[in-house]
Chain A
Amino acid sequence: MVKGTPDTADGSRTGPSPASGARAAPRRPALARSLERWGAFARRRLRAGELGSLPVVVVLAIVWITFQSLDDSFLSPRNLSNLSVDIVGTGMIAVGIVFVLLLGELDLSVGSVSGLAAAVFAVLNVNNGVPEWLAVIVAVLAGTAAGAVQGYSFARTRVPAFVVTLAGLLTWNGLMLYVLGSSGTINLDANGLVAALTGYYFTQDAVAYAVAALAVALVFLVPYQDMRRRVAARMPHRSLRFVVARAAGLAVVAFAAAFVLNRFQGLPLALLIFLVVVAGLDTVLRRTRYGRQVYALGGGVEAARRASLGVTRVQTAVLAVSGTMAAIGGLFLASRITSVSQSSGTGVLLLNALAAAVIGGTSLFGGRGSTWSAVLGMLVIQSIASGMAITDTPAAVQFMITGGVLFAAVVIDALSRRSQEAYGRA
C-alpha cells in the first residue's frame, strides 16, 4: 500500500496479452512462478533504492515480538486498542510533516501550532462559551493560517523552511501562552465533541468488520477497474493475481485488526478518522494534479518551475496543509487528556512526529514518501513507548531505542538514495 513514488510502478506488470503469454510459457507450479516473480520484483526495488515500507514493517514485527516475549499483555486487545488511539494525535501531525518532507523541507513549527490550536479551542469553548463545532473550525483554521503565513514567507524569500518554521516555533508558542493568559490548565468538557474524538468507540462488532470490508473492497475494485480498462486498451497492466493477492493481504490485516479491536471496546472513532484522513490524503498525493506538483517540487524546484508550475502556490499550500494537520493533531492530543495547558504542543511532540514520518519511510531528501509512513512510523514509536511502560523500563532507555530506530531509518533513507543514483549512472 505504501509506495515510494507516486507512480504505479511495480514488478508485476505484464505485457498487453498476459493470458496468452502465460499459457505459452512452460507449465510450472503456480507457487514457484509467483515466488520467482516476487523475487524479481524485490530485487528490482532493492536495486533501484525503492525499499518503501519493507524496513519499517520488519522493525515493527521485531518490536512486537520482543515486547510480547517480555510481557504477554503487550499484544492484548486492550493494549493494542489503546495503542491505536495513542498514535492518532501525533500521527495527524506526522501526516502534515510528510507533505513538507516531500518538498525536501522541514517544518519545525508543528508542535507549537498544535498547542496554539488546542489553546484557541479551549479558550473559545470553555472560557467564552463559543459552541464546540465553531471553536473547532476556528482552531483548525488558525493552524491553516499559521502554516500558510510560513509557507508564503518561505516561498517568497527562499529561506529554507526549517528556518522560517523555527521562527514560527517560537512565535506560535508565544501566541499560545498569550491566548491562554493566566488560565494555566483548562479542562475540556468531558462529554463534548472534542473529548469524544478519542473517547468514542463503535461498540457494535459489525462496524469494525464493515469498515474492514469496505477498505478491502476499495483496494480490490479500484485497481481491478484500472486493470480492466488497460486490458480493453491493450496496455500493460497488473496481473489479476497481483490485484487479488494485495487485496487478500489487506483483508488479513484489516479483519485481524477488527477482531482484536472488537475484543476490547470496538473500533475507536479516532482510529477511523485517522485512517480515512491518511487514505484520503494519500489519494490526493498520488492521484491528483496538486499531489503530482508536490512530488515534482521535491524532485527539483528548478525543473518544476521550467515546467511552468506555480512554485509559490504549491509551497504555500504544502505548509498550510502541515499547519492544518498540526492543528487537528493538537485537538486529538487535547482530547486524549481532556485538557489544554501551557505545556500543550511542547516537549518531544515535534521530534516524535518528525521521527514517525522518517521511520515510516518518507525520505528526508524530498520527492519520495507517502502519508502511510506516518501510520507505520507512529506504530513503531508508540509501540516502543507502550512496551517500555508495560515492562517498567525507564524513559531514558525508551529515548535511546527510539533514537536508534530513527538513526537506522535515516541511514536506510540515505543508502537507498545513493543506490538509486548509482543505479541511474550505470
Chain B
Amino acid sequence: MSAPPLLALHGVCKRYGAVEVLVDIDLEIRAGQVVALLGDNGAGKSTLVKVISGVAPADRGVIEWKGRQVHVRRPGDARELGIATVYQDLALCGNLDVVGNLFLGREIRRYGFLDEMEMERRTQRLLERLTRAVPELRAPVVSLSSGQRQTVAIARSLLGDPRLILLDEPTAALGLQQTTEVMDLVDELRDRGMGVLLISHNMGDVKALADRAAVLRLGRNNGFFDVNTASQEQIIASVTGATENAPRRHTHQEAAW
C-alpha cells in the first residue's frame, strides 16, 4: 500500500436519540476510485454521507484524510478538506435561482457587491459540461423539474475543485439521457484522480462504474467487494442479508484492498 487513502473511516458510530443508526463503520476511498455504497432502505447510507460531510458529525470513531486524522464537525470543515456532497434531498434553496444556489456560501464579489455576471458565466459553463439540457439559470429552483434540480445539485458539488465527491442517489430523478450524462461524469471525475462515493440502488450502474463496493446492512458493514471480480449475486446476497459477514473480517478485507 503506497499512498494513504483519500478518506478512511475507522469504527464510526452515529446514534439518533436511542437509535444506533451506524455501528463501527469502516470505509476507505482512494483517489481515482469509485466506491459504491450499497444497502437496503434505512441501512444508514445517507447517514454515513452526512457523517462524512459534517452535517451529522460522528459520535465515535476516527476519520482520516490522506492518512491524517481530522475532525469533521461542521459542513464547512468538509468543504475545506475538499469534500463535496450531493445530498439525497438535494438541500437546495427553492427561492434562489440556479446561479444563487450554485454559489451559495462562496459568492464571487466585485467591489464588494455580488458579481452576478461572473457567477452566471461560470454556472453556464459548468452546466454545459454536465448536460445538454441546461435549465433556465435565472428561474427559482422550485420552478425546475426534479431532474433539473438534481442536475443543479450535482453541478454545485463540482464547484470549487473537490477531491472527494459524495453522491447520494444522484440519478434517482433523472431521465435516461441525463443518467448517462451523470455516469459519464463520474467516469471523468475518476479519470481526473478524484475519489467518488456513489450510492445507488441500480446494480447495473454499480457494475458498470464502481471499482469497489461497500455494503451496509442495518447500520453495520456487511462486506466489501471488488466489483470486477465479485459476481452480482454475491453482492446482492450481501445487501439483502443472505450472507451475514462477521464484523471482524471486514477490517481484514479492507486491509487487503
A residues near B (Cβ < 8 Å) are 5-9, 13, 48, 50, 226, 229-230, 233, 235-236, 283, 287-289, 292, 295-296, 298-300, 302-309, 366-368, 420-421, 423-424, 426
Please give me the residue from chain B that is nearest to A363 by CB atom: B95
| In the bound complex, CA of A367 to CA of B142 (Å) | 12
Taking the closest CB of chain A, its distance from the CB of B137, in whole angstroms, is 8
Is the CB of B97 closer than 8 A to any CB of chain A?
yes
Chain A residues, CB < 8 A from B79: 308
Please give me the 7 A-B residue pairs with the lowest Cβ-Cβ distance, nearest first.
A299-B93, A367-B95, A308-B76, A9-B138, A299-B95, A307-B105, A424-B142
Q: Is the CB of B143 within 8 A of A48?
A: yes
Q: Is the CB of B91 within 8 A of A302?
A: yes
Q: Is the CB of B104 within 8 A of A7?
A: no
Q: Is the CB of B113 within 8 A of A303?
A: no
Partner of B95, one of A8, A298, A308, A426: A298
The number of chain B residues with a CB under 8 A from chain A is: 36
Taking the closest CB of chain A, its distance from the CB of B253, in whole angstroms, is 32
Q: Is the CB of A424 within 8 A of B143?
A: yes
Known A9-B97, A303-B91: A292·B114 in contact at CB below 8 Å:
yes
Chain A residues, CB < 8 A from B124: 235
Max chain B CB contacts within 10 Å: which of A6, A423, A424? A424
Q: Is the CB of A367 within 8 A of B94?
A: yes
Is the CB of B129 closer than 8 A to any CB of chain A?
no
Taking the closest CB of chain B, its distance from the CB of A368, in whole angstroms, is 6
| In the bound complex, CA of A9 to CA of B93 (Å) | 16
Q: Is the CB of A287 within 8 A of B113?
A: yes
Q: Is the CB of A235 within 8 A of B120?
A: yes
Partner of B121, one of A8, A233, A300, A304: A233
Known A13-B138, A289-B107: A305·B75 in contact at CB below 8 Å:
yes
Which B101-121 residues have a C-beta within 8 angstroms of A?
104-105, 107, 109, 112-114, 116-117, 120-121
Binary contact track B65-99/A, C-beta < 8 Å → 1, others 0: 00000000011100100000101000111111101
Taking the closest CB of chain A, its distance from the CB of B148, in whole angstroms, is 10
| In the bound complex, CA of A292 to CA of B107 (Å) | 9
Partner of A296, one of B53, B76, B87, B104: B104
Max chain A CB contacts within 10 Å: which of B53, B75, B87, B124? B75
Is the CB of B144 closer than 8 A to any CB of chain A?
yes
Is the CB of B140 closer than 8 A to any CB of chain A?
yes
Q: Is the CB of A303 within 8 A of B92?
A: yes
Chain A residues, CB < 8 A from B144: 424
Partner of A421, one of B93, B96, B114, B142: B142
Once A and B bind, how many residue pairs between them come within 8 Å at the CB atom? 110
Q: Is the CB of A420 within 8 A of B142?
A: yes
Partner of B94, one of A283, A288, A300: A300
- Known A-B contacts: A7-B96, A295-B95. Give 7 more (CB < 8 A): A5-B97, A9-B97, A233-B117, A295-B96, A296-B104, A306-B91, A308-B74
Q: List 30 A-B contacts (CB under 8 A).
A: A5-B95, A5-B96, A7-B97, A9-B140, A50-B140, A226-B117, A230-B117, A233-B117, A235-B120, A235-B121, A235-B124, A236-B120, A295-B96, A296-B96, A296-B104, A299-B95, A299-B96, A300-B91, A300-B94, A303-B91, A305-B55, A305-B75, A306-B53, A307-B75, A307-B91, A308-B79, A366-B95, A367-B94, A367-B95, A420-B143
Taking the closest CB of chain A, its distance from the CB of B47, in whole angstroms, is 14
Chain A residues, CB < 8 A from B231: none
Is the CB of B139 closer than 8 A to any CB of chain A?
yes
| In the bound complex, CA of A291 to CA of B91 (Å) | 19
Q: Is the CB of B140 within 8 A of A48?
A: yes
Q: Is the CB of A303 within 8 A of B97?
A: no
Q: Is the CB of B100 within 8 A of A288?
A: no
Known A226-B117, A229-B117, A309-B105: A8·B91 in contact at CB below 8 Å:
no
Taking the closest CB of chain B, its distance from the CB of A227, in whole angstroms, is 10
| In the bound complex, CA of A300 to CA of B101 (Å) | 11
Please give me the residue from chain A that is nearest to B98 by CB atom: A7
Taking the closest CB of chain B, its distance from the CB of A64, in whole angstroms, is 32
